[in-house]
Each structure stands twice: as C-alpha cells, then as structure tokens.
Amino acid sequence: MPSSVFDSDIYKNLFGEAEMRRVFSDENQIQMQLDVEAALARVQARLGIIPQDAADEISAKAKFENLDFEKFKKGVERVYYPILPLVEGLVAACDGALGEYSHWGATTQDIMDSALSLQLRDALTLIDNELTAISAILVRLAKEYRDTPLAGRSHLQQALPVTFGFKAAVWLSGIERHRTRLAEFRSRATQAQFSGAAGTLASLGANGLAVQDALADELGLERPEITWHTMRDNVAETTNFLGLVTGTLAKIGTDVLLMMQTEVGEVFEPFAPGRGASSTMPQKRNPVSSELLIIAAKAARQNVAMMLDGMIQDHERASGPWHVEWLALPQTFILTAGALNQARDMLDGLVVDADRMRANLDITNGMIVSEAVMMGLAPYMGRQVAHDVVYDVCRDAMAQNRPLKDLLREMPEITKHITPDQIDELCDPANYVGQAGDMVDRMLATVAATKR
C-alpha cells in the first residue's frame, strides 16, 4: 500500500501530476541512465577508444526491458547505489564480451548526474509549459477586469481602491519573472557530468575532455566548465526556483481564498457538482485548490532547505549529502507540477463577481477614499491639517453610520473649498484607482514584447 501522497492512488493527482511523475519514475530514471551509458559508448567508439561493434551492441541492449529488474533491485539493496547493478545488468544483456566496454572510464555519479540532467530538462519543459499557460490566463483576466474597481487591502483591512485587473496583473508579474528565471538558469541545470572517479578524467588520459564534450553533445546537454560532483549549486538553484514558483502560487491562492470568504464573496473557484463540498454542511463551497497551493508551498520550502543543506559536501566525492537530492528533487518537482495544474484550472475557471466587488467598496460609507478627500483638500488647508480634519470626519461617519460624503457636505470649512459635486467625485471609489489601468497596460505590453 502506498506510504505517501505522491504515489497514492487516492491523493496523487491532488499533490502531483501524471507527466511529472513519469519523468521521475523508476522506469524513466533507469532508462535515462541506460541512455547515458549508450551515448558514452557511441562517442567513445567514434573517438576510437572502444570498438564500434561494442558500442553498437551496448546501444541496442541499453533498454529498460532488457534489464532483469528484480535482480537489479536486489543489487541496489546490496550496493546502496544503482549504477553498479545497472552496468552488471547491461553487460549481461549484451552478446559475448562486448558489454564489457560499458561504463568505460566512468564513475557512478557521472551516469547518475547526467541522467538527472536529462530528467531536469524534461521536467523544466513541463514547468515552463504550465507557467506559459497560467500567464495567458492572467493576461486575459487583467485585460477583462482592467477597470473593475475592487477594495485594495492592507493588514486585511480595506485600504484604497484598486482594480481586479491590477491584482491579476500583479499575479502575472510574478509568473513572468519565473519564466524569465527559468530561461536564465536552464542551461546551468542541464549540464552533462563525465569526470571519472575523482573528477580529473584520469582513466582516459588525454582523451577525457574530448569524451566529456562529445557526451554532452550526444545527449543534448550543456558542456560543464569543470567537474561538479560536489559543487551542487546548480541543482540547489533548481529546487530554489521551484520554491519560488510554489510560493507565488500560494500567494495567489491566499488572495483567492480570502476573497472567497462568505463575508467578502468577490471571486470563487470554479463550480462543479460536489467540488469543495462539506460532508455535513450542504451550503459549503470550500477553496480547495487554493488550499492545495498553500500546502504545496509549505512542503516545497522544506525541500529547499534540505537541498541547501545538501550543498555542504566534502572534498571531490561526498560521503553522503548527495543523497538528499534523491529525496527532495522528485518530490519538489511533483509538488510544483501539481500546484501549477491546480492553479491553471482554478484561474481558468475563476468566477468573478464585479457587483460584489463594487458593493464591498461601499461598506465603509466612503471611508475607503478618505485619502482622496484629504488630497483634494490639501491644496487649500495643507496636507496635515486636511489629514486631521478628514480623520475626525471619518470617526464621526463611523460612529453615526453615515456616508462620509454627507458629513462633508455639512461642514462649511469643507464646502468653502470644494463643491458638493466635487465631494461626490472624490468619494466615488471608481475615481481613485490611481494609475492601476496604466500599470496593467504596461504589464501586458511587457508580456507581449517578450518572446519565449
């Protein structure tokens, strides 16, 4: 029976996504390790280091289905690493002695790291595709609700009016920065590794660097500047990136969750019969996707810390910190893929109640635009005096439960400076969204100008 949400038939699609699980599956990982062994044999044959017929045989037999998986598993339990049993299985699958040319001059970590880079290449493509899809959804929301007024909030209290398009564009800005980050560090995350036992390629003599470069090209990976057996910043950077992505998604989820509160009711996650339902309260429509986004960020954050700790490695080949990657990387990618999938579906079907947004702007009897009134009076009486006058009027409006504009109209010290029509204009929240629309336009123009 599965022991975690990542492989549970019940929970795995809540906390993960099928294609990302496939990337980090046993079968795919082993096949990628075999792909590295086969590529190594091919380039070494081209360079005249091993016989061509050996390379041909190794390439033909380096298939998961040719491996005795049960024997391989027992070998891993014996050795505590997968590559020696893998090579033993590959040699056994080859005809005659040709398989003996497998793994020529390589070390375990060369194969595992290069295979990991192949996995990261595929995994990051999946992440990029989801970020791109979410970006397009947020572009649509920002355009559609560019001028829809909404209460901006500070310390969970109404602050000043914004627009929902502005809020969506702020979300979009985070997603777009992640797309930029991914484009910038992808080459660092997908480097080949082939350096030999202590990282100096001593076993291949003068041919070592030529094999390293040719192997990187054969696999479609980046050429490393130097051995990275125990310099794991690039791998840690990848996990940190995933922590940033899930953090941004959790911020979006937190906003949606709060806006879904019964007393607020400004947006809702997509409706489907039974989605987010309670077992006992028929009226409930819980923010289930938003909750999962927050959970994913919390779990990913712990793995980020683990990966940073795993950077502290000893000498040229480490005594154990490398192993934390086996735990943290697959989990964090699967969590991130699951969170991206939840965010995409939630945002794509988001129900926006513009009327409720407008109604909520009025619940403070106009006090949400008290700054507008203050700034309207400041040229006549000074900013600080205007602040104090409006502060006192707001207290009266709150105590009497009356609209701010009505009290302002009754004050000669106010009406001698501004007319009732001007008071009405200042007290309309839709008139005090600043340059929110222009900011939305600038964000959308930035996205449109970016070619990825």
Query: Do 405 and 424 contact (CB within 8 A), yes or no?
Result: yes
The residue to which tokens 């029976």 are assigned: 1
Q: Is 103 a catalytic residue?
A: no
Residue 6 CA neighbour count, 13 Å, CB half: 19
Three-point CA angle 136, 141, 145, nearest 5° = 155
Give, in order, the Cα–Cα distances in Å from 342 to each of 102, 181, 349, 448: 43, 22, 11, 25
Amino acid letter, 128: D
Indicate the burial class of 417 (C-beta count within 10 angstroms; 0-12, 13-18, 19 or more): middle
Q: Is 178 a catalytic residue?
A: no
Q: Report whether 423 contacts 414 (CB < 8 A).
A: yes
Whose tokens are 């969204």? That residue is: 433
Lookup: tokens for 283: 């009226």
Distance of CA 329 to the CA centre of its chain: 13
Given 3, 154, 155, 279, the catalytic residue = 155
Q: Which of 4, 102, 203, 278 is catalytic?
A: 278
CA gap 412, 333 in Å, rounded: 64
Q: Which residues participate in catalysis according to the annotation?
A: 155, 278
